[in-house]
Amino acid sequence: MIRDQETLNILLDTISRFVRERLVPQEAHVAETDQIPPELVAEMKELGLFGLSIPEEFGGMGLTMEEEVLATFEIGQTSPCFRSLFATNNGIGGQGIVIDGTPEQKRDYLPRLASGEIIGSFALTEPDAGSDAGSLRTSARRDGDHYVLNGTKRYITNAPEAGIFTVMARTNPDAKGPHGISAFIVEKGTPGLSLGNIDKKMGQKGAHTCDVIFEDCRVPASNLIGGKEEVGFKTAMKVLDKGRINIAAICVGVAERMLADALRYAMERKQFGKPIAEFQLIQAMLADSKAEIYAARTMVVDAARKRDDGRDVGTEAACAKLFASEMCCRVADRAVQIFGGAGYLSEYGIERFYRDVRLFRIFEGTSQIQQLVIARNMIRAAGE
């Protein structure tokens, strides 16, 4: 749903210009240093990027899902590490509070998330609980006015920079699977909370992950999201449905950037006396990429509109995430092939994108998990 097309166009133009003029020139520097320059972070805050989807009453822009994915398409025209820094505030790091938080929790945390004063992080995955999130072992035991958390979370995006963590922990040890899981807001600096070393990753340098460790970490009972126990898994699934649409959108944006780079190179690079873009086998790779990007973009917008209409989009979100992430990796592979030997060199940047986008098929639900979600939803619907 687009509320005001003119206002949205201004926002999209502003983001596009920021990406083109400020972020793209810094891609190689960030990849080399594994750090996003502080001045760029300050500009992201000034533009309101940390609060794109946080309600206006709490200082955000309150974008609808459709408006947000259109903005994400523009943000995707550069290294995905930039988006990663502010996307958790708009997505998995903040949406648990937006969707299910108490009025007090919303009032206390959402304005700071919207401004970028604090970074939100989503702590679900554990050493032995990733795709099988229902098997998580992190525990939360009630002790007076507090809960005592113990456990370790792994591969947690933005954990090194986070000011708050949305933590999934088991409050009912007797409940099996996803039952008995509750969601908590844990602030940075809480005694008993510590971080592991920053992970050395295959790609997405500048976007940091690490272990988050809880050792008798005392969290106020008022920080139980929604004020209710044993509904944390449902909160996580609501958050992930939205997150999966956003991941699909960033896949589209990055794929569009890679295809534009590949097309430009193909038109400039000459072999046998003419640009390689004139060779039919190169044209086939360009055409296949264009068609798949168009299909993915259409899926993302459709899923976003359905979510704005208040519909259950679990299946559509999984379909979009599955198709778009797999598509993005195919486009990356074709782009490297079109670049040829140059595509294997770091100076051209396409090899960096090739490594960066591989993550899209893994986080917020692997492609295989999306297949299971889609099939199970189909079977359930057929039996109703």
Task: Quick: pLDDT tens for 121-159.
Answer: 999 999 988 778 778 999 999 999 999 999 999 999 999
- Predicted local distance difference test score (pLDDT) of residue 133: 75
Query: How confident is the model at residue 123, as a pLDDT?
Result: 94
**What tokens were used for 342?**
């140059």
Each residue's pLDDT tens digit, 149-193: 999 999 999 999 999 999 999 999 988 888 899 999 999 999 999
Whole-model pTM: value is 0.94
Q: What is the DSSP letter of 274?
A: E
Q: Terminal CA-to-CA distance of the chain, rounded, Å?
A: 29
Q: Could you give the percent of the chain with pLDDT greater than 70? A: 100
What's the one-letter identity of residue 4? D
Q: Give the pLDDT of residue 239.
A: 87
Amino acid residing at 66: E
- Is 187 catalytic? The answer is no
Mean of all residue pLDDT scores within the chain: 95
Q: Could you tell me if 364 and 320 are in contact, meaning their C-beta atoms sit under 8 angstroms apart? A: no
**Can you give the three-state secondary structure of 5-31, one letter per residue?**
HHHHHHHHHHHHHHHHHHHHHHHHHHH
Which residue has tokens 């300050």? 42
Catalytic residue among 67, 126, 351, 364: 364
72, 250 Cβ separation under 8 angstroms: yes
What's the mean pLDDT in 273-285?
A: 98
Tens digit of pLDDT for each residue in 295-342? 999 999 999 999 999 999 999 999 999 999 999 999 999 999 999 999
Calpha distance 111→103 (Å, rounded): 12
2 vs 207, residue with greater confidence: 207
